[in-house]
Structure 1
Amino acid sequence: MQNDINFRTSKSPQVDLAVLCGFVIVKLILPFFFVNAAYSLHRDEFLHLDQANHLAWGFQSVPPVTSIFALLIQFLGKSEAAVRLVTASIGAATLIFTWKIVAEFRGGLYAKVLSAIALICCAVGRLDLLFQPNAFDLLSWTAIYFFLIRYINTKENRYLYFMALALGIGFLNKYSICFLAAGLLPALLISNQRKIYKNNHLYFAGLVALLVMPPNLLWQYHHHFPVVGHMKELARTQLDKINRADFLKDQLLYYFNIIFIVLAGLWALLFSKTFAPYRWIVIGFVISLGLFTWFRAKAYYAAGLYPVVIAAGCTYLALLFNQRWKKYLRVLMIILPLALFSITVKYAYPILSPQQIVAKHNKFARVGSLRWEDGLQHDLPQDFADMQGWKEMARLTDSAYARVKDKSALLVRADNYGEAGAINYYSKFKNINTVTYNADYLYWFKMDKPIKHLILIREPNEEDPQRKKEQPFFKKITKIGEVTTPYAREKGAAVFLLEDATIDINSRIQSEIEEEKHDH
């Protein structure tokens, strides 16, 4: 790859560093421009933020790493800006690792710049918009690839241990990283890098990775492996509805803006002599993607496979178009992703207000943005609708909460984790401690004192809008109001105040909790 040497970092490392810092700054500030003020946080974010108040080695929905980031957000003030900054920082770290992978492929500054633009302009960039495990999952996968490539290039055993730590910590963030390991292990064995299995340090590094995992596995054991129930529920409600062909089609759609880079990367890794030492990457890519397809995974689960392919594609294209008139095509390769991104960004990010999206209904419907998990067309993309109505719900709950004098005898219970987390986040009463029988909140009930009053938040279109079920157990039931935000997924959710219980509410709720745990 000598033709690209003139553009390498060795000639001007200061310029490389300055350009990288520029992209990092862009990555950090983009989320603040990509979210319209009409939207609040997403329902999933509220759950993860609440985990900071219940630190443990595991949770029903996710492993523990997300709660550490939630604690950091709490330290930074817990504002929406703090949430955006932390997630954007994780995305910036992924960009840095991808930049470093390009350097390991002996790519120059142009290839690095193209890789940074590619990451920003494709679906990978969207994963660090929301505070979910997905952003760090992407970072973990990219770090593992970097350390393994770095080991192959230098033969320094320390990179095997760094890789193992990235794998172990990645496991404590999201279990889907096992799909990466399932792809890499046979890929290395099949490829010309199989000699790595003769290195004892690989196995010692494997032990390091395994030593990181037991605390979470022990937590799962002591709680009867709630992750199994969570995965069954996920499969029943979401994954079983995913068509395998649609999963593969979505891989093309997610990376449409940079598809020429992805295809160039796969071609280079398969056929280029320059990339011969890295054939295992494309073999692992195929194996992991095949496993995701077989298990009907969501399309974004495979996102971690792409940064390394993007790095290879950018390096290969920089080499391919580095002579005479072909150099002018380099400018086109920079402009094309940016141009396509400028067209598609409004479909991927909540830049437009709900009213603007409704006005462009046909355009959004044509690209499939309005189809939800239920298979039906709606007014807003599902993720955008999940960022609506929460502040109104919290205000209604606060109105009910303020009416109760003895708050030590009051329990606030929602129907789902989005409602519970949103109320805890936006309520002006910082000790409101809303819980639900849903997700991790099932383990967070505090009933050390007798409960006399109950605030219920019920989902839209529920079966008992008059609260006939609870009428025999409370002297007074008042409907405070319901969510009226037009395009919220929770539109119609109602808030009820149930006062002066006539039975032992504690034992009844405890019984329902145990029943829910048993079902999970």
Structure 2
Amino acid sequence: MHDTGKLETDRPAGRAERLAWRPLLAVVAVAGAVHLAVAARFGWHRDEFYYVVAGRHLAWGYPDQPPLTPLLARLAADLPGGVLPLRLLAIAAQLGCVLLAAKLAAEFGGRARAQTITAATIAACPVFVAGSTLFGTTVTDQLAWAAVLVTVARALRSGTVRAWLLAGAVAGIGLENKFTVGVLLLGVVVGLALFRRSVLRTPGPWLAGALAAVLLAPNVVWNAQHSWAQFRMAGVLSAEQGGPLGALPNVPLLLLVLAGPPLIALWVSGVRWLAEERAHRWVLVVAVTALVVFTAGGGKSYYAAPALLGLFAAGGVWAETRAALTPRRWRIAIALSAVFAVLIGLPVLPVSAERVFASVNPQLVETYGWPDFVHQVTAVADTLPPGSSVFTSNYGEAGALTLLGPDAGLRLPVSSAHNGYLLWGPPAGTPDTVLCVGEWGPDYLRRFWSDVREIAPITTPGGVANEETTNHAAIYLCHRPHGTWAQLWPGLSHLD
């Protein structure tokens, strides 16, 4: 019995099927068309402003992320079209996830039907649809997880060092985008140790790990030079989520809502299939590891979402081999999920109606109203004397004024002390006359200026509630500082 178990553990993962390009491209075309129709309907998101500005301050890291997404955002923002080039990148990443998920099903031995079901499921899954509404680390992280899962599955099947090196390169690039890929790699190692132990006695996985570490090294050096800022930021985010207890409700939210209620049976079937297929059981370990680690670490609900790629790919293979799941049944399930995903994930409703889904996806209303915000601030800034400056409470406000302000006529320098902005320092000159803009009250500002006067609250067209209006963001005119910018800066700086 012992020998039989060992042979089962060590057997290869099987043969990969060829990609069924015709149905897969049809899925990609439909998904891409839906996304493109509303890609820039409302406008910029605060995070997109920040990524672009961060990319203009190129570094190997920032307090809240590695460098890859800011670099890509900067390159996209240099193209004409405003926010549209960034959204095209986000859509491309989403469609990449669709195709890579189908490729993963093919690595599991899934033929055309399995690949099509898997691709359509990812295209209709709310957490993937919503993640690609804007360009940022969420959608690029999903793409990185998909690429790592596929390249590891391929390396396990082929067993060649070259295949493992490709997986290591993909993992290293993914880590330069977001550290959450490290949880994926932890799951892979644990899964191989449990069910494919003989693979760890070959050089391939270790060379892959070494290559990933080399690619990550510049960011590690940057963190060491900046007091491990990204790790401190992770602690702040965990505390904001309420730690493990605060993150615990994220598990049912992800599995029952964000994964798509009509698709529950498919990922559950994927779990069953992976439990039966020992050669691929490491993928199930990845999903369990992601849920456990992100919950224990106080992570956000969508952090573990990319692990659904493996479950849905396995579910597609299961559906292909089970006559009980007829094409009509899975098409209905995917169509229902697609409708739900579009309603909560894409800006298809009037902005006043988006508040209905704000508890599940608050990001859509955060893409609305930024030009009006910039005009409100500019109208006040135009009345100030030379040598004045604008100081904001968060990176979204600073980014909006930096990128949209010049076209609106804003001529004053803009700064903030939030996250990456705190490293870029205060403006030149003195803080004698400063227009403070943001989500802080006069009592807070009086810690730094003796004369603080509220000019006007920030408003949005139609009174739509977003982060600025909910937290009573306002424009304040501040005089008589309690020191120079250098003296004020440490107290103004904040990570959140």
Q: What band does the TM-score fall into relative to the shorter chain?
A: 0.7 to 0.9
Counterpart secondary structure, 1:496: strand
Matched with 1:384 is 364
Pair 472,517 (structure 1): closer, same or farther in 2 beyond 3 Å:
closer
CA separation in 1, counterparts of 2:211 and 2:446?
A: 57
1:277-426 pair list within 5 angstroms: 277-321=279-323, 329-343=326-340, 345-357=342-354, 364=356, 369-371=357-359, 382-404=362-384, 406=386, 409-426=387-404
Q: How does 1:131-150 map to 2 (within 5 A)?
A: 131-150=135-154
CA contact (8 A) 1:141 1:170 kept: yes
Output the CA distance in 1 between the equivalents of 2:446 and 2:202.
Answer: 69
Q: Which residue of 1 aligns with 2:459?
A: 483
Task: Report the secondary structure of 1:299's partner residue.
Answer: coil
Residue equivalent to 1:496: 476
* Distance in structure 2 (CA, Å) of the matches to 1:60 and 1:237: 16
Please tell me the residue identity of whatever aligns with 2:154: R
**CA 1:61/1:97 → structure 2, altered by over 3 Å: closer, same or farther?**
same
Q: What is the rounded CA distance, in whole Å, between the counterparts of 2:82 and 2:40 in structure 1?
A: 16
Q: Provide closer, same or farther for how the CA distance between residues 349 and 242 of structure 1 changes in structure 2, counting only shifts above 3 A.
A: farther
Q: For the residues of structure 2 that align with 1:395 and 1:479, how far apart are their CA atoms?
A: 14
Query: Once the two structures are superposed, what CA deviation does each residue of 1:290-317 show, in whole Å capped at 9, x if it has no partner?
Result: 2222223222110121112211111221
1:437-467 per-residue CA deviation (whole Å, 9 max, x = no partner) reads 211111123534455542210326x2449x7
Residue type matched to 1:410 in 2?
A: S
**Shift of the alpha carbon at 1:278?**
0.8
Secondary structure of the residue aligned to 2:427 is: coil
1:481 touches 1:495 (CA, 8 Å); kept in 2?
yes
Residues 370, 519 of structure 1: CA spacing in aligned structure 2 closer, same or farther, 3 A cutoff? closer
Distance 1:431 1:66 in 2: 28
Alpha-carbon shift at residue 355 of structure 1 (Å)? 2.6
Q: For 1:146 and 1:200, locate their aligned partners in 2 and report how far apart those are by CA, in whole Å.
A: 19
Q: Which amino acid aligns with 1:236?
A: A
Listed as ranges, the matches of 1:424-463 within 5 Å are 424-427=402-405, 428=407, 429=409, 433-450=413-430, 453-459=433-439, 462-463=441-442
Counterpart AA for 2:191: A
Q: Does residue 105 in structure 1 map to residue 83 in structure 2?
A: no
| C-alpha distance 471-140 of structure 1, shift in aligned 2 (>3 A) | closer
Residue matched to 1:30: 34
Q: TM-score when scaled to structure 1?
A: 0.82
CA distance in 1, matches of 2:335, 2:162: 38
Residue 169 (1) aligns with residue 169 (2): no
Is this contact kept in 2: 1:242–1:298, CA < 8 A?
no
Match of 1:185 in 2: 189
Partner of 1:266: 271
Whether contact under 8 Å (2:145, 2:181) holds in the other structure is yes
Q: Please tell me whether the aligned partners of residues 418 and 494 of structure 2 are also in contact (alpha carbons under 8 angstroms).
A: no
What is the deviation of 1:285?
Answer: 2.1
Q: TM-score, normalised by structure 2?
A: 0.86
In structure 2, the residue corresponding to 1:383 is in which secondary structure? coil
* Paired position in structure 2 for 1:513: 489
Deviations 1:197-233 (A, max 9, x none): 1112322222111111111111111111112331222
Query: For structure 1, which segment, 160-169 or 343-352, has the greater mean C-alpha deviation from structure 2 after superposition?
Result: 343-352
Deviations 1:470-511 (A, max 9, x none): 77569xx6826632441232124222345xx666x8x52212
For the 8 Å contact 1:264–1:316, the answer to whether it is kept is yes
Distance in 2 between the 1:82 and 1:345 partners? 21
d(CA) in 1 for partners of 2:22, 2:248: 43
Question: What is the Cα deviation at residue 76 of structure 1?
Answer: 2.0
Q: How far is the alpha carbon of 1:48 from its aligned partner?
A: 1.4
Q: 1 CA distance for matches of 2:485 and 2:495?
A: 15
Shift of 1:436: 1.3
Residues 238 and 388 of structure 1: CA distance in aligned 2, closer, same or farther (over 3 Å): farther
Q: Cα distance, 1:413 vs. partner?
A: 0.6
Looking at structure 2, the residues matched to 82 and 47 of structure 1 have their Cα atoms a distance apart, in angstroms, of 15
Cα distance, 1:241 vs. partner?
Answer: 8.0
* Matched position secondary structure for 1:456: strand
Task: Please say if residues 112 and 314 of structure 1, whose CA atoms lie closer than 8 Å, have aligned partners that are also in contact.
Answer: yes
Cα distance change of structure 1 residues 162 and 390 upon mapping to structure 2, 3 Å threshold: same
* Residue 151 (structure 1) aligned with residue 127 (structure 2): no
The answer (yes or no) to whether the contact 2:273–2:314 under 8 Å persists in 1 is yes
Q: Deviations over 1:400-457 (max 9, x none)?
A: 3333463xx2321101122112222322258755221211111123534455542210
Where does residue 90 of structure 1 map in the other structure?
93
Alpha-carbon distance in 1 for matches of 2:341, 2:72: 30
Q: Give the C-alpha shift of residue 100 in structure 1.
A: 1.3
Q: Does 1:44 align with 2:47?
A: yes
Q: Which amino acid aligns with 1:72?
A: L
Cα distance change of structure 1 residues 206 and 241 upon mapping to structure 2, 3 Å threshold: closer
Matched positions, count: 472
- 1:64-96 alpha-carbon deviations (Å, 9 max, x no partner): 111111122123236121121011111111112
Q: Counterpart in 1 of 2:129?
A: 125
C-alpha contact (below 8 Å) 2:418/2:495 kept by paired residues: no
* 315 and 165 in structure 1: CA distance in 2 versus 1, 3 angstrom threshold: same
Following superposition, the deviation at residue 58 of structure 1 comes to: 0.3
Provide Cα deviations, 1:44-72, integer angstroms capped at 9, x if missing partner.
Answer: 22211211211100001111111111122
Tell me which amino acid in the other structure corresponds to 1:306. L
Q: Which amino acid aligns with 1:514?
A: P
| Overall identity of the aligned pairs, in % | 21
Aligned match of 1:378: none
| 1:266–1:309 CA contact under 8 A, matched in 2 | yes
**What SS class does the counterpart of residue 62 from structure 2 fall into?**
coil
